[in-house]
């Protein structure tokens, strides 16, 4: 929850790393595992989610006085679904090739618990400015995680990044990486890496504090 | 800075709740209709262009096309704006308006979901001259080679359709009606072949005898652009 000492900048930056929606909160796993079989799909999905999350957070936080508490979830879903439908049509009109690949997963953005979660936990309780900052940070963190997973899987699974061949013809693609098990394996390893880094950082901070204390005494 | 909602002490009446949801739904509906109308033309144009490109790809040497429809008895020229159904195919014609071949869409189950295939057919030689996947959700990396693998697609560039197309293990095709399957995607490869065979079974008896194909209608809105 935002306390008064938090700045808008902190609200934004927290989603990128400290409270990363994927690596820390483990939210939005469906698109995370389903559409990260290539970097470009991952980015397209990340951007679609970005637009929906920022748009919904803006609307929910500006309309919060008029939304009765008892029907708030339904209203949030209506707002989110509206943005998702807009994204669906716009993608279909602007980039039909990407829409073909993501097709079935675009409507599922409605059910992405990351988006509804931010409305319920943050946007409905904070000012418009903070809600937008929070949404931008969270969506950017999600996009970052999508891209990390998508690029690892595409590089290993097809030997390519953004469709550009990286290793020449002798590379035998690890087909499993672009199949569903590859998604789980990659996500598991990235979560391991993330937790290990967090742990090391905490140990380092504790060590520094210890050293400061012994110096002072 | 956080502005906590004041705790609502009195329960709002059901009318308020219904009104709130109705207003939300109404506004949402307006927005969706607006976006639908704004993107409708572009989407229809994209689809038409995609189909036109696919027809030109499966029928080499074609520069004009028109919609043909089986009306229950014979194949007739259909207006371009008519909606496609399963009785619709496309006739391909060269620069001078001579008939080249048909582009026939056929669909069937693949490994994951329905695959829609467009294939070019030359009735005079009874040959498939091209294949293009219109729609598929085959496994990325394996099944999607039915349209990403140029070698597999090239199988269909000059393929006898009689008695029927047969899928062979990769590297073992020998007869003109055989194709090489994709290693690791046998089901998808066989599905494409089965879909074309099924399409041919339906259309073979509907098509007029070679030489009696519908002529190119003069009004051709698609080639005017």
Q: Which tens digit of pLDDT belongs to each residue from A63-93?
A: 888 888 888 888 999 999 999 999 989 988 8
* Residue B6 predicted with pLDDT over 60: no
What pLDDT is stored for residue A51 in this prediction? 92
Out of A64, A82, A173, the one facing B141 most closely (by C-beta) is: A173
A16, A137 in Cβ contact below 8 A?
yes
Specify the range with the lowest mean pLDDT, choosing from A43-47, B58-62, B206-210.
B206-210
Nearest-by-CA chain B residue for A92: B43
What pLDDT is stored for residue A1 in this prediction? 46
Cα gap B138→B189, rounded to integer Å:
11
Cα gap A63→A61, rounded to integer Å:
6
Percentage of residues in chain A having pLDDT higher than 90 = 22
What pLDDT is stored for residue B3 in this prediction? 52
Q: What's the mean pLDDT when you consider all of chain B?
A: 82
Cβ of A126 within 8 Å of Cβ of B3? The answer is yes
A-chain residues near B21 (CB < 8 A) = 71, 74-75, 78
Percentage of residues in chain B having pLDDT higher than 70 = 92
Dihedral angle, C-alpha A158, A160, A165, A169, nearest 10 °: -30
What pLDDT is stored for residue B1 in this prediction? 46
Q: How far is A105 from chain B (nearest CA, A)?
A: 12
Q: How far is B182 from chain A (nearest CA, A)?
A: 14
Nearest to B208, CA basis, from B106, B68, B67: B68
What pLDDT is stored for residue A2 in this prediction? 45
Out of A93, A125, A178, the one facing B39 most closely (by C-beta) is: A93
CA separation (Å) from B180 to B165, B183, B192? Answer: 11, 9, 12
**Residue of A39, A86, A132 to mutate when probing chain B, most B C-beta within 10 A:** A86
Residues 176-195 of chain A whose Cβ lies under 8 A from any Cβ of chain B: 178-179
* Residue A101 predicted with pLDDT over 50: yes
Q: Looking at the complex, does the CB of residue A74 fall below 8 Å from at least one CB of chain B?
A: yes
Tally: H helices and E strands in chain A? 8, 2
Residue labelled with tokens 């498939």? B128
A143, A50 in Cβ contact below 8 A?
yes
* Residue B88 predicted with pLDDT over 50: yes
Cα gap A59→A172, rounded to integer Å:
48
Cβ of A89 within 8 Å of Cβ of B25? The answer is no
B155, B180 in Cβ contact below 8 A?
yes
Cα gap B199→B209, rounded to integer Å:
17
CA separation (Å) from B198 to B17, B29, B102, B192? Answer: 55, 42, 16, 10
B207, two tokens: 């098509």
Question: For the residues B65-81, what does the mean pLDDT come to?
Answer: 81
B-chain residues near A103 (CB < 8 A) = 137
What pLDDT is stored for residue B25 in this prediction? 92
CA separation (Å) from B39 to A83, B31, B45? Answer: 15, 12, 10
B92, B181 in Cβ contact below 8 A?
no
Extract the runs of DSSP E, i.e. beta strands, from B6-81: 64-70, 75-77
**Residue of A2, A41, A42, A93 to mutate when probing chain B, most B C-beta within 10 A:** A93
DSSP H or E run through A191:
helix A180-216
- Count of CB atoms situated within 10 Å of the CB of B89: 24
CA separation (Å) from A154 to A158, A160, A178? Answer: 5, 6, 7
Supply the DSSP symbol for A104: G
- Count of CB atoms situated within 10 Å of the CB of A102: 23
Cα gap B126→B86, rounded to integer Å:
21
What pLDDT is stored for residue B37 in this prediction? 94
* Residue B225 predicted with pLDDT over 50: no
Cα gap A192→B106, rounded to integer Å:
47
Cβ of A66 within 8 Å of Cβ of B20? The answer is yes
DSSP of B139-154, one letter per residue? PTTTTTHHHH-HHHHH
A8 vs A87, more confident: A87
A115, A52 in Cβ contact below 8 A?
yes
A-chain residues near B141 (CB < 8 A) = 37, 157-158, 173, 175, 178-179
Helix pair angle (A72-94, B14-58), 10° resolution: 20
**What length is written for chain A?**
217
Q: How far is B163 from chain A (nearest CA, A)?
A: 35
H-state helical runs in A63-127: 72-94, 96-102, 113-121
Q: What's the mean pLDDT when you consider all of chain A?
A: 86
What pLDDT is stored for residue A82 in this prediction? 93
* Residue B31 predicted with pLDDT over 90: yes
* pLDDT bracket for residue B218 (50, 70, 90): low
DSSP of B54-68, one letter per residue? HHHHHSTT--EEEEE
DSSP H or E run through A156:
helix A128-158
Q: Looking at the complex, does the CB of residue B6 fall below 8 Å from at least one CB of chain A?
A: no
Question: For the residues B147-170, what does the mean pLDDT come to?
Answer: 84
Question: For the residues A151-166, what does the mean pLDDT come to?
Answer: 85
* pLDDT bracket for residue A5 (50, 70, 90): low
Examine residue B114 and say whether the peptide bond preceding it is cis (omega within 30 degrees of 0): no
**Residue of B6, B135, B140 to mutate when probing chain A, most A C-beta within 10 A:** B140
For the ranges A169-173, B56-60, B160-164, B212-216, the maximum mean pLDDT occurs at B56-60
Out of B16, B20, B135, the one facing A75 most closely (by C-beta) is: B20
A118, two tokens: 């931010």
B-chain residues near A178 (CB < 8 A) = 140-141
């Amino acid at each position: 929850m935002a306390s008064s000492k938090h700045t808008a900048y902190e609200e934004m930056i927290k989603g990128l790393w400290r409270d990363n929606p994927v690596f820390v909160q483990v939210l939005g796993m469906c698109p995370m595992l389903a559409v990260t079989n290539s970097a470009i799909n991952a980015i397209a999905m990340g951007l679609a989610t970005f637009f929906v999350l920022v748009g919904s957070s803006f609307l929910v936080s500006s309309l919060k006085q008029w939304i009765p508490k008892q029907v708030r979830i339904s209203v949030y879903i209506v707002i989110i679904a509206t943005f998702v439908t807009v994204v669906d049509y716009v993608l279909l009109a602007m980039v039909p090739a990407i829409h073909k690949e993501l097709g079935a997963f675009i409507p599922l953005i409605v059910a992405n618990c990351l988006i509804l979660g931010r409305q319920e936990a943050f946007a409905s309780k904070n000012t418009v400015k903070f809600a937008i900052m929070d949404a931008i940070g969270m969506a950017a963190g999600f996009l970052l995680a999508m891209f990390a997973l998508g690029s690892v899987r595409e590089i290993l699974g097809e030997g390519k990044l953004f469709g550009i061949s990286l290793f020449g013809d002798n590379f035998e693609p690890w087909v499993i990486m672009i199949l569903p098990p590859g998604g789980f394996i990659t996500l598991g390893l990235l979560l391991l890496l993330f937790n290990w880094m967090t742990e090391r950082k905490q140990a380092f901070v504790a060590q520094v504090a210890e050293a400061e204390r012994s110096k002072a005494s | 800075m956080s502005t906590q909602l004041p705790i609502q002490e009195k329960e709002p009446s059901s009318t308020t709740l219904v009104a709130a949801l109705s207003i939300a739904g109404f506004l949402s509906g307006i927005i969706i209709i607006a976006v639908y109308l704004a993107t409708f033309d572009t989407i229809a144009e994209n689809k038409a262009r995609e189909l036109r490109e696919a027809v030109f790809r499966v029928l080499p040497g074609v520069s004009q096309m028109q919609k043909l429809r089986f009306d229950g008895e014979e194949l007739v020229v259909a207006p371009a704006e008519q909606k496609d159904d399963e009785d619709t195919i496309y006739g391909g014609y060269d620069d001078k308006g001579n008939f080249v071949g048909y582009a026939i869409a056929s669909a069937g189950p693949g490994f994951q979901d329905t695959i829609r295939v467009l294939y070019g057919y030359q009735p005079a030689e009874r040959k498939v001259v091209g294949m293009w996947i219109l729609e598929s959700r085959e496994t990325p990396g394996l099944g999607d080679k039915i349209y990403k693998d140029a070698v597999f697609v090239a199988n269909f560039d000059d393929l006898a359709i009689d008695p029927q197309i047969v899928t062979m293990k990769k590297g073992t095709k020998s007869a003109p009606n055989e194709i090489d399957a994709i290693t690791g995607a046998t089901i998808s490869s066989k599905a494409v072949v089965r879909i074309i065979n099924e399409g041919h079974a339906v259309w073979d008896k509907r098509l007029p005898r070679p030489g009696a194909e519908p002529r190119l209608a003069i009004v051709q809105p698609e080639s005017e652009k």
